[in-house]
Copies of this chain bind each other. A is one copy, B any other.
Amino acid sequence: MSNQPTQAINEFRSNSSFDTDLMTCFIRGGPENVRNHRAAVTRVEKALGLDDSWKLPPQYGEQNRSEQLLQGINASRVMLRDQNDHGHELFHHRTYNYQLANAGAFNQSLVIFLPCLQYLASPEQAAEWIPKVRSGAITGTYAQTELGHGTFVRGLETTATYDREADEFIIHSPTTASTKFWPGSLGFASSHTVTMAQLQIDGKNHGVHAFLTQIRSLEDWKPLGGIELGDIGLKFGYNAVDNGYLRFNHFRIPRTAMLDRHAQVLPGGKYVSRGDLTAMYAIMLKLRSIIVNGVPYNLAQALTIATRYSVIRTQGLGPNGLLAIEIPILQYKSQHFRILTLIAKSYAGLLVGRNLEAEVSVYLVQLTKGDHSNSGYMHVVCAGYKAWASQLCADGADDARRLCGGQGYLAMSGLPDIVTHLHGTPTFEGENYVLWQQVFRYLFKCTQQLDSGGRIPKSMRYIADGFQEYSSGNGRSSIGLKCTAHGRDFLDPIVQLSFYRHRSLRLIFATSAKINRDTTDKEPTTAANAWNRHMMSIIDAARAHIEYTGLEAIYAQLSAIPDEYAMLRLVLDRLMNLYSLSTIINPYTTAGITFAEDGYLSFSQLEDIRGLADELLGQLYFDAVALTDAWDFSDASLASAIGCYDGDAYERLLSWTRQLPINMKANKNDGVFVPAWRGIIQPMMDGLKVEAKL
């Protein structure tokens, strides 16, 4: 029985069209990275006792909130130690099981707290504090978000009031809504924070500044006087980390604790600005690019599980019940379509992320040279791709979960944890709807520049190119334009890019025109109403822009693929064709109607596209397992009874079920869950008389 599933999976493995190991190298950036990463993951899994895939992972047992957190903090310790012992940074941006950095208790210290010091501290401050962070002598986090205030930083209420006599700042939480809430690792794992607070001097507000704040004693870890803090409890996901709350009660810190690279308060209270704060954006951009690069891994994890399960799971007598035997569920086109188009999205995310990482690197170098000219553009790029990738991957992973039916609903499938982890990403580091509006704000400014005969950044050239054709007639001049491609033309990236570009330009110019039309006077309220009235179009336009530039990035990456990976071009081309074409006709595409509503693509062209997508699905069918294997996830990192490499889903699921502590304990009592029987069921059956409170 047990080797049947392995045979089914191996049939796929042996029929794949490409070299899986080579693809792994492509995904992970070369064979040395693959080796190092495997070795590090193996060491950590062994240290955590997770190296036997037949053993029930502890999180599926009887952990309460405290135990979940302890397991998470311990895992973070083990990763930190592995990095120190072996001199690498492989777990900086992703944990050993591919969760984003902010899921690791001590990662906040390296990924957020440290960069704050690097960008915001003066050289003297940096010299004092950075070595302590690096060595782990102190652990820190970034305390910005408050109970009542998120993305809108100027709205923060925490105050830092300068006390001239003591030459100190008094940090205070004046209201309930000003309670710091959500920072990762704040509850119990951090000794310090960078606290964002409104700087007040002599009753004057100088706006939000950053203050290095010690919150716990390094001797005994007790919160310092004037500090109240703790955990914010169970969350949808991220339960291995202690997102926390923090209240200040007239808490005093020295004047020199203000991070003063960009602004300083001199003894006596004179406020000196040393320049602009755009460097602060660099941290945010970097964090967003980490998200864009991270989330495709989580989607791919979910798909690794769903693909393997879809191959070994048989169900029903074929389409419309027309066959004589049960067939693997992957053969049903609804399953096949969803799995393969989702796999295509995971690779699309990978390639977009890689392109973005390169752009961010260039930009960060520019910044160190004082060149801020690209800041507006890079802000939009990172905001837009963060919104795009986080939603794409969260929704995709949830669909992967649904693709596993009842088993995907089990914690032991590993899918709920992956899904809920991803569902955090559309919200944190800039809520997606806010980000989409920021993207469009930039696009809108571009159209205004063009309207007034001005120039726009060359990175936005396609908008300038489209200005003549798309801007007249109140942005409706494009209605009536028709795509001239047909049949196999749609496999040509240039053709694909042309209708993504058309859609983006049409929506940008038409939406801008609507806003301009409704902004009838110079009153801010009128302008706000005009913007608000067309908000849904604004979001569609912003998304269309990012989907167009994202597709450009994907094909740019494929065109520049290094020679050693040339053998992968065929399958990657197919996959990106599938991504690009299926996005148009996938029932779940957000705002899919915008591809068709203006008649640019005719019904018969859409039918051509459906036909080609179907053809690509056929070509990629036997690649499904290899395309997910190639991400190289260990069994332990998936923590899935139904998604292990060997495909032995049912045996492992039954084995893990038998190992559940509640069952082990009941078995010791002859199969009875004693508290339920004695406390509830037996008395109930004796006349429903029980009054016992639980």
- Within 8 Å of chain B (Cβ to Cβ): is A540? yes
* Closest residue on chain B to residue A526 by CB atoms: B322
CB neighbours of A534 from chain B (8 A) = 333
CB <8 Å contact, B528 and A319:
yes
Interface residue? A182 (CB, 8 A): yes
Q: Which of the residues B65, B539, B693 comes within 8 Å of A62, measured between beta carbons? A: B65
State whether B596 touches A593 (Cβ < 8 A): yes
Indicate if the CB atoms of B606 and A597 lie closer than 8 Å.
yes
Q: Which of A60, A420, A433, A599 has the most CB of B within 10 A?
A: A433
Docked CA distance A454–B684 (Å): 58
Q: Which residues 59-104 in A have Cβ within 8 Å of B in the complex?
A: 60-67, 69-71, 73-74, 77, 80-81, 84
- Name the distance in Å between A378's Cβ and chain B's nearest Cβ: 20
The docked-state distance in angstroms from the alpha carbon of A69 to that of B66 is 18
A377 at the interface (CB under 8 A from B): no
Pairs of residues from A and B, 4 with the lowest C-beta to C-beta distance, nearest first? A333-B535, A230-B663, A234-B411, A587-B591
A682 and B219 alpha carbons, distance in the complex (Å): 9
Task: Say yes or no: A533-B150 contact (C-beta < 8 A), given A591-B587, A694-B71.
Answer: no
Report whether B233 and A533 are in contact in the complex, using a CB–CB cutoff of 8 Å.
no
A370 at the interface (CB under 8 A from B): no
Does A409 lie within 8 Å of B433, measured CB to CB? Answer: no
Binds B, one of A483-491, A629-637, A667-675: A667-675
* Residues of chain B lying within 8 A (CB to CB) of residue A334: 433, 437, 535-536, 539
Q: Give per-residue flags for A404-424: 1 if the beta carbon is below 8 A from chain B beta carbons, else 0.
A: 011011111000100110011
Determine which of B187, B529, B661, B694 lies in contact with A319 in the assembled complex, contact meaning CB atoms within 8 Å: B529
**What residues on B are CB-neighbors of A318 within 8 Å?**
524, 528, 532
Q: A661: which B residues are within 8 A, CB to CB?
A: 65-66
Q: Which of A248-256, A361-369, A380-388, A652-660 contacts B (4 or more CB under 8 A)?
A: A652-660
Shortest CB distance A374–B (Å):
22
Q: Which residue of B lies closest to A476 (CB)?
A: B603
Min CB–CB distance A416 → chain B (angstroms) = 4
A679-B426 CB under 8 A given contacts A411-B234, A528-B319, A597-B603: no
**Residues of chain B with a CB closer than 8 A to A651's CB:** 176
Q: Tell me which of A11-19, A221-229, A456-464, A560-568 binds B.
A: A221-229
Asked if A1 contacts B176 (CB within 8 A), the reply is: yes
In the complex, chain B residues whose CB is within 8 Å of the CB of A437: 319-320, 334
* Interface contact B588-A685, CB-CB below 8 Å: no
A673 to B426 alpha-carbon distance, docked (Å): 30
Residues of B within 8 A of A314 (CB): 148, 155
**A147 an interface residue at 8 Å Cβ cutoff?**
yes
- Kindly state whether residue A175 has any CB partner on chain B within 8 Å: yes
Do B152 and A316 touch (CB < 8 A)? yes
Contact with B along A546-575 (1 / 0, CB 8 A): 000000000000000000000000000000
Number of A interface residues at 8 Å Cβ cutoff, please give it: 165
Q: How far is the CB of A415 from chain B (nearest CB, A)?
A: 8
Interface membership of A494, Cβ < 8 A: no
A690 within 8 A of B: yes
Q: Mark A577-605, 1 if CB is under 8 A from B, else 0.
A: 00000001101111111011111000100
- Residue pairs across A and B with Cβ atoms less than 8 A apart, 17 shown, are A70-B675, A71-B694, A77-B688, A84-B688, A147-B650, A152-B316, A218-B685, A230-B658, A232-B410, A319-B437, A322-B528, A323-B525, A334-B433, A335-B433, A402-B427, A592-B593, A593-B595
> With A319-B532, A319-B535 in contact, do A64 and B66 touch (Cβ < 8 Å)?
no
Residue A271 lies at the interface, judged by CB distance under 8 Å to chain B: no
Residues of B close to A682: CB separation below 8 A:
221
Beyond the given pairs A151-B315, A188-B677, 6 more chain A to chain B contacts, judged by CB atoms under 8 angstroms and listed by A's residue number, are: A49-B693, A66-B662, A150-B405, A232-B410, A320-B437, A593-B593
> A680 at interface (Cβ–Cβ under 8 A)?
yes
Copies of this protein in the assembly total 2
User: Nearest chain B CB to A624's CB is how many angstroms away?
Assistant: 16
In the complex, the answer to whether A333 meets B536 with C-beta atoms within 8 Å is: yes
Known: A230-B666, A245-B654. A136 touches B685 (CB 8 A): yes
CA–CA, A607 and B479, complex, Å: 12
List chain B residues, Cβ under 8 A from A679: 70, 74
Q: Is there an interface contact between B531 and A322, defined as CB atoms closer than 8 Å?
A: yes
A590 to chain B, nearest CB (A): 5
Answer whether A229 and B671 are a contact pair too, CB < 8 Å, given A316-B155, A532-B332. Answer: yes
Contact of A332 among B331, B419, B535 (CB under 8 A): B535
| Given A333-B533, A409-B236, A654-B176, CB of A434 within 8 Å of CB of B155 | no
Any B CB within 8 A of the CB of A128: no
Answer whether A136 and B684 are a contact pair too, CB < 8 Å, given A334-B536, A657-B230, A673-B187. yes
- Check A672 against B535 for contact (C-beta < 8 Å): no
Contacts of A658 in B (CB 8 A): 230
With known contacts A319-B535, A320-B441, A332-B532, A406–B593 Cβ distance under 8 A? no
Closest to A436 in B: B334
A73→B690 CA distance, assembly (Å): 13
**A618 nearest in chain B by CB position:** B533
Q: Any chain B CB within 8 A of the CB of A235?
A: yes
Q: How far is the CA of A149 from the CA of B316 in the complex (A)?
A: 9
* CB–CB B147/A231 < 8 A: no
Cα of A202 to Cα of B65 in the assembled complex, Å: 55
A521 part of interface (Cβ distance < 8 Å)? no
**A663–B539 touching, CB < 8 Å:** no
**Contact flags A151-169 to B (C-beta < 8 A → 1, else 0):** 1101100000000000000
Given contacts A176-B1, A528-B318, contact A60 B681 (CB under 8 A): no
Q: Is A431 part of the contact surface with B, judged by Cβ < 8 Å?
A: yes
Residue among A64, A67, A588, A590 with max Cβ neighbours from chain B (10 Å): A64
